[in-house]
Structures are given as structure tokens and as C-alpha cells.
Amino acid sequence: MRDLLGGLLVIVAFLIVIAEAKYSTRKLLGYVLDFAVIALLILGIPSLLRRAGLRGSSNEIGTFLLVAVLYLAYATVRLRLRRKELTVAGASFGFHPADASDVCLASYPMRRHGTVRGAMRGETRGLETWIFDYDIADAENSTEQTVVAFRGRDVNLPTFELLPPGGLSVWLADDRYLAEVHFDDVPDFEERFKLKTSAIEGVRRYFTTDLLAMLLRVEDCGSVVQGCSDTVIFFNPGITVPVANLETWLNRCATIAYAILTASSKCPSE
């Protein structure tokens, strides 16, 4: 009976892991790997402790402590490897490591306070650019995503979120305060994007027909785009971009960011 209950718990935990992965293949693989590591530690450590002569409550306490310590070590090593991979990949296209305190942007993913990891700084299409992983941990949800951010000069963007069509908006904090903007003059725009804001009139002035048409011509990067003040950021909620795809993703995001940040000179004044 005990073995059956243990087996059922393992199956339930695995199903929860899959559900939490939000059907993202890369995130699913990460969850599966974490699950496998924890499962192996939980299954293997009690046996080792019994061989060392620990029984009963001593075995259980020892198992708990060793699982916690070893998993923390595993997570630390994984983060360091990821940071090293980001640094090497960034250097290959002219970026250099930056201190997390230097990443002072007008907008952050999901508008929550998080932890910047592996930050790199460079220039893309004349725009000051950062790439970093951004971890958000709170009581409601914990997410980790790769972010690329661009800063323009002499720009004052209205606050907005530009989303691919679909269900991504459920990931975004404070989404209930944002309203979708419709552009009757460019009906094709809403087939590719959803534009949301808390400043509808400001967005209507800034996102002119020319800018909307330009965004329709560029290749979609498939990411959430947030803009505020002089900054435009891109990320896929809960997804860390593989280093092999980093430069391609960066260039696609840069094309969209350049279109948005350079449109200010053509934007009608208030």
C-alpha cells in the first residue's frame, strides 16, 4: 500500500510539472530535469543513509537536509553555467558583461521587481541594448525569462504592451488596467498584434498609420513588447532563450524596437 501511494504521488507530481510548464517545450524540459534530479535525490539518499547506519527519524532528517543542500548546489551550478553561456554568446556579437545595477530601465517585464542575471550591454542599430535573464519569484507565481531591452534618445513613449494574438496577456501583471486599442485605418494590424495601454490617446498619437504599416512589414519576433518613456523591452513570459537562438532573436527584436523608437520624430505633437 505504501509503495502504491508513493507511486501515485510521483505520478501526480509529474502531471503538475507538465501543467506548470504552460505547454512550452523548453520550459517543460527544464521542469522534467528538475523533477528527475529531485526524484533521484529523494530515492537515492535514504538508501545511502541506511547503508551508513541511519534509521528512522535520523534517516528522514538526513534525507531532507541532504536533498535541500544538493539541490541548491545543482541550481547554483546551473545558473552559473547559464551566465557563462550568455557571456560567451554576447561576446560573439559585440556585447560585454554589465553589472545588474547598470540595468536601470523605464520598464521591467511584468512590472514586478525581479532579479537580473547574466546582464550584457552593447549596441544594436544605434540603440543602447541590454540582454539578461530576469527572475521573478513571489507567492503567486515564479517565472524566469530572457529579456532584451533597447533605449532610444529624445524619446517619450506612452506606456504600452504589444502582444502577438493569443493568450499571452494572461501572463502580464496589471493587465486589468490596460485597454486594447483599435485602429480602423489599419485593420490588418489586429490580425498580427494586440496593442494595449493605459494611455489610449497617447498611443493613438504615437502609433501613426506609418508606424503601424512599418510594424506589419517587419518579421514578427513572437515576443511580448513593452514600452515606457525611452525604453522598449522584449520577452517571452517564462521562457529563457537558448544561446544558439539569441542573436537571431535579438536582431528581430531590434528591427521592431528601431521602428518604434525612431518614430518619435514623426509623431504629431500634443
Residue 148 is inside which H or E element, if any?
Answer: strand 142-151
pLDDT band at 147 (very low <50, low <70, confident <90, very high): very high
CB proximity list for 221: less than 8 A, separation 6 or greater: 234, 249, 252, 253, 255, 256
**Higher-pLDDT residue of 6, 161:** 161
Across the chain, mean pLDDT equals 75
Q: Looking at per-residue confidence, does 231 or 23 come out higher?
A: 231
Residue 163 and residue 223 in contact, taking contact as beta carbons nearer than 8 Å: no
Q: Is the pLDDT of residue 206 over 50?
A: yes
Confidence of residue 117 (pLDDT cuts 50, 70, 90): confident
Q: What is the mean pLDDT of residues 130-135?
A: 90
Dihedral angle, C-alpha 253, 259, 265, 268, nearest 10 °: -110
User: How many angstroms separate the CA atoms of 249 and 253, rounded?
Assistant: 6
Confidence of residue 5 (pLDDT cuts 50, 70, 90): very low
**Tens digit of pLDDT for each residue in 33-57?**
666 656 655 666 666 556 656 555 6
Range 28-37 contact pairs with CB under 8 angstroms and sequence separation of 24 or more: 30/240, 37/71, 37/74
Instruction: Please name the amino acid found at residue 238.
Output: G
Q: Apex CA 188: angle with CA 183 and CA 190, to 5°?
A: 60
Residues 221-263 have pLDDT tens digits of 788 899 988 999 999 888 888 888 999 999 999 999 999 998 8
Return the ∠ at Cα 190 (arms to 185 and 192), rounded to 5°. Answer: 130
Beta bridge partners of 97: 120
**What's the gap between Cα 151 and its chain centre?**
18
Rounded to 5 degrees, what are φ and ψ at 123? -135, 135
Q: Is 239 in contact with 164 (CB distance < 8 Å)?
A: no
